[in-house]
Structure 1
Amino acid sequence: MKCKFTSLLIAVLLLIEVSCQNKKADETTLANPDVMHTSVRKLTDVMVHDIFSPPVASRVYAYANIAAYEALVPGYPQYQTLTGQLTGLKELPKPTAGQEYCYPLASLRAFLTVGRTLTFSGDMVDEFEPQVYQKYKEAGLDEEVYNRSMAYGEAVGKKILEWANQDGYRETRGRRYTVVMAPGKWQPTPPAYMDAVEPYWFKIRPFALDSCSQFKPAVPSKFDISKSSDFYKEVLQVYETGKSLTTEQKAIASFWDCNPFVMHNTGHVMYATKKISPGGHWINIAAVASKKAKADFMKTVETYALVSIALADGFISCWDEKYRSARIRPETVINTYMDKDWVPLLQTPPFPEYPSGHSVISNAAAVTLTSLYGENFAYTDSTEVVFGLSPRKFSSFNQAAEEAAISRLYGGIHYLPAITNGQTEGRLVGEFVLGKIKTRKAGNKAKQMAKAE
């Protein structure tokens, strides 16, 4: 009898142990950051499809990732909300005290709620969403917890959208820009001679910066085509570099092109090639870093949020100067004064030259990623593989940012001062964002499934 009782007790204990292991495995599945990476990639694909300009894409990334962060942060006591830290972001919905939530699910719901609303092809998100949520149902998430988490995430997402609606974006839609007809000023460039992109972006509310002109770069050299002038030397450098590019330099330029506006002429037909935006490229680098470091769900979302904020403020800062100086592009100068048949390796983007947007935003992102993952974080960047280009290896985020910046000289679309001064501006933006925005606080270990406090 005693032996039977002992056997029964052992069986019960084994059953309890297995049940606990299954529950733990379920919670691990529920908090797997892969689904966040997949969702961010889907948002990128939607914006490539919609041909969003680089500044607009950065705005979408920022609001969607901030929403994801804010819906997730109540489940991780060592992190803190960004309310009161980001400009105009005030109180957000809170989870009900004493109720259990799956915060990763809420985070995804908030992210997709914002992403769907801020893009044109929301139907692409609609088709994708059920696949995301089905993973949580299959993992055995309690129905009440599921519904509660979904409702909470949606509430956070809607509140973030209300905040987004106050940033000046709507007021800048449809405003016409008059090209300044003066020597040295930007003119539309071939082949499409497109209108200026986002000439009023400086009116968009910054996320962390005090103002769009907080880190205004040095004044560019005076337009002067005399051969002894600084400007002429800058133009000549672009021209001569373009005529003697190595295979490696061409590969670098193509890898960092990230121009969503590339147009092609075939006879009388003109068509576009869709590409990822420069900000989208760095968002993908954030994904690469998070995966390699095996970051948990919270750090993954923190990474996306901080990088997105740095990118968005980088574009606001950069675009402020672009339309203040309205600097002429190398292609226009060279075709007018040096060589009418010269064509840059890369197609010139449809906005003024100074400073280099790639230089600004790449350095802002690199500063942010370095703070999260370290100075010498080596990685392979395969972002452009889907666009037919080979992966590139980097020893650090800063090395990648330097390469992204100089790629614009190789591409024939920027003078060197726009690159070097843009790098300085970008680093200042990134450092300021990190100095102002604090995601961490002293607290307990992270938990993915938790009751609200």
Structure 2
Amino acid sequence: MNAKIFLIGIIMMLFTSCKKEAPIKITADDFCAAVDTVTWIMVHDIFSPPVASRVYVYPNIAAYEIIAQNSKEYESLQGQLNDLTPIPKLDPKSGVNQRLAAIIAHLEISKQLLFSEDMIEKYRDSLYIKWEDENKSEFLMSKDYAFKVVDHINKWMDKDRYKQSRTFAKYSVYSDRQDRWQPTPPSYMDAVEPNWKVIRPLVMDSSSQFKPVAPYPFSTDKNSSFYKEAKEVYDLGNSITQELLAMENAKSDKIPEKSAIASFWDCNPYATVIQGHMMFAKKKNTPDAHWINIAKIACKMTKTDFETTVYINTLTSIGIFESFISCWDEKFRSNVVRPETYINKFIDEGWMPQLQTPPFPEYSSGHSVVSTCSAVILTSIFGDNFAYIDDSEIPFGLPERSFTSFNQAASEASISRLYGGIHYRAAIVNGIDQGRNIGNYVVSKLKMKKKNEQKK
């Protein structure tokens, strides 16, 4: 009997050792979860919108380049993005799981770009343990290839002049110039990323390629366009305040629509709260994170596969990255004073906007540029009448909003800056044009789908 049991044990051991491990399954949800993790770490770390765009784009490009290897559907971005050369070739018979390698590369590059490395490491390590347990040989081969791609993308990324920009002299405020941007309450922060225009664009030939028309000349003359625009911000802000007070007195839970729109699209990671002698940050999404989440919503609604999800995130993040370079180039060229500063000096010293004024010059409107560009890109993929429910701000205590299209959402995001009291109308209108031009350029220039797929 003991010999029989021993023989059965030997047979089971041989069967187990010869059993082929199943391939590690990686889905679009896994990629979205990785992007969401990066987003939440950036909210925790309080990343500026321009820098956040850099954190999104490079990991996405690394993942995309891997899934484009030997693909019948997707074209590599080598030669299409400035200075990007081919990543290491992948032998189709190597046993590498491309989806797995793509998500590993995404995580590894994200780790290098985030401040709280321990947070991304904890998330990454939990996945590594899971994948190694599922299929050790496939995991190790895929990881080895992913790291080769990470090394290649790192060398390219390190030449985008970001590190050099960290060493530039501190931005000087023109305290004697009434027409120039000044730090604003409550925290009077220094200007954010005044040298972002030096960052290497990915598609544009320069930061000034889509320079918008010049803003109205500064003036305190009540008949001037500049004064009239400031007065519009002032009057509208007072009107919204009156609506809020009326509803408060009526003990109504309803929020005036313009106030709700301003809050929904605030996306200010610098918002500060003062309680007594304490000042702390009220953490929020950046505009980048809001539109990356909208892309995720669209992907989930249409049940896109892993490769398509990576493609959509990559194209969207490229547009966002270009938008911030173009917009910040203009912001620190025209250096326009914010409505809050102007109104307090020349109209009403006690006036306050509904939203906290972000710490950088007014013109052009960043949300208008980024939102419009993102809408152009997503419309090119999903169509013009793509209705969806945006739940991006629920984690920050705001209700969801419904939209009939990406363009409608972008229009609302743009006008929210006027409702919030932080932009003049010209910055919004011309920012929309700027974003549309960038979006159309990115869509027309980048050939990411192979011709046989584009015709379908």
Distance 2:236 2:318 in 1: 34
In the other structure, the counterpart of 1:434 is 443
Determine which of 46, 54, 58 is the counterpart of 1:59.
54
Say which SS state the counterpart of residue 380 (structure 1) adopts: strand
Determine which of 365, 372, 377 is the counterpart of 1:363.
372
Contact 1:367 / 1:431 at 8 angstroms: preserved in 2? yes
Shift of 1:269: 1.6
In the other structure, the counterpart of 2:229 is 234
Say which SS state the counterpart of residue 47 (structure 1) adopts: helix
Distance 1:376 1:255 in 2: 22
Aligned residues: 419
Determine which of 151, 160, 176 is the counterpart of 1:158.
151
Distance 2:92 2:355 in 1: 55
Contact 1:75 / 1:103 at 8 angstroms: preserved in 2? no
The RMSD of aligned alpha carbons is: 1.7
Specify the code of the residue in structure 1 equivalent to 2:387: A
Determine which of 143, 147, 171 is the counterpart of 2:164.
171
Distance 1:219 1:399 in 2: 26
Where relative contact order (Cα < 8 A, 6+ residues apart) is larger, the structure is 1
Shift of 1:135: 4.9
Say which SS state the counterpart of residue 399 (structure 2) adopts: coil
Specify the code of the residue in structure 2 equivalent to 1:44: T
Shift of 1:270: 1.2
Deviations 1:147-175 (A, max 9, x none): 11111112212211211110010111142
Distance 2:219 2:158 in 1: 43
Distance 1:219 1:120 in 2: 37
In the other structure, the counterpart of 1:402 is 411
In the other structure, the counterpart of 1:125 is 120
Distance 2:73 2:157 in 1: 27
Structure 2, unmatched stretches of 5+, are: 1-19, 244-255
Say which SS state the counterpart of residue 271 (structure 1) adopts: strand
Aligned runs of 1:12-51 on 2, under 5 Å?
30-51=25-46
Shift of 1:311: 0.1
Which deviates more from structure 2 when the two are superposed, residues 85-94 or residues 174-183?
Answer: 174-183
Aligned runs of 1:336-375 on 2, under 5 Å?
336-375=345-384
In the other structure, the counterpart of 2:210 is 215
Shift of 1:126: 0.5
Determine which of 296, 304, 310 is the counterpart of 1:295.
304
Deviations 1:245-291 (A, max 9, x none): 25111111011001010111112221111111111110011110111
Specify the code of the residue in structure 2 equivalent to 1:390: P
Contact 2:70 / 2:92 at 8 angstroms: preserved in 1? no
In the other structure, the counterpart of 1:258 is 267
Whether 1:330 aligns to 2:339 is yes
Q: TM-score, normalised by structure 1?
A: 0.90
In the other structure, the counterpart of 2:326 is 317
In the other structure, the counterpart of 1:447 is none
Determine which of 103, 112, 117 is the counterpart of 1:108.
103
Shift of 1:145: 2.1
Which deviates more from structure 2 when the two are superposed, residues 76-85 or residues 322-331?
Answer: 76-85
Contact 1:113 / 1:158 at 8 angstroms: preserved in 2? no
Shift of 1:77: 2.0
Specify the code of the residue in structure 2 equivalent to 1:102: N
Structure 1, unmatched stretches of 5+, are: 1-21, 445-453
Distance 1:174 1:358 in 2: 27
Whether 1:225 aligns to 2:220 is yes
Specify the code of the residue in structure 2 equivalent to 1:281: H
Say which SS state the counterpart of residue 332 (structure 2) adopts: helix
Say which SS state the counterpart of residue 96 (structure 2) adopts: strand
In the other structure, the counterpart of 2:140 is 147
Q: TM-score, normalised by structure 2?
A: 0.89
Specify the code of the residue in structure 1 equivalent to 2:403: F
Determine which of 181, 184, 188 is the counterpart of 1:193.
188
Contact 1:363 / 1:426 at 8 angstroms: preserved in 2? yes
Which deviates more from structure 2 when the two are superposed, residues 46-55 or residues 149-158?
Answer: 149-158
Say which SS state the counterpart of residue 87 (structure 1) adopts: coil
Whether 1:84 aligns to 2:93 is no
Distance 2:29 2:70 in 1: 18
Say which SS state the counterpart of residue 88 (structure 2) adopts: coil
Shift of 1:75: 5.3
Distance 1:58 1:324 in 2: 21
Shift of 1:443: 5.9
Say which SS state the counterpart of residue 370 (structure 2) adopts: helix
Shift of 1:130: 2.8
Distance 1:133 1:271 in 2: 36
Contact 1:359 / 1:426 at 8 angstroms: preserved in 2? yes
Distance 2:416 2:42 in 1: 23
Contact 1:238 / 1:412 at 8 angstroms: preserved in 2? yes
Shift of 1:144: 2.3
Contact 1:109 / 1:157 at 8 angstroms: preserved in 2? no
In the other structure, the counterpart of 1:5 is none
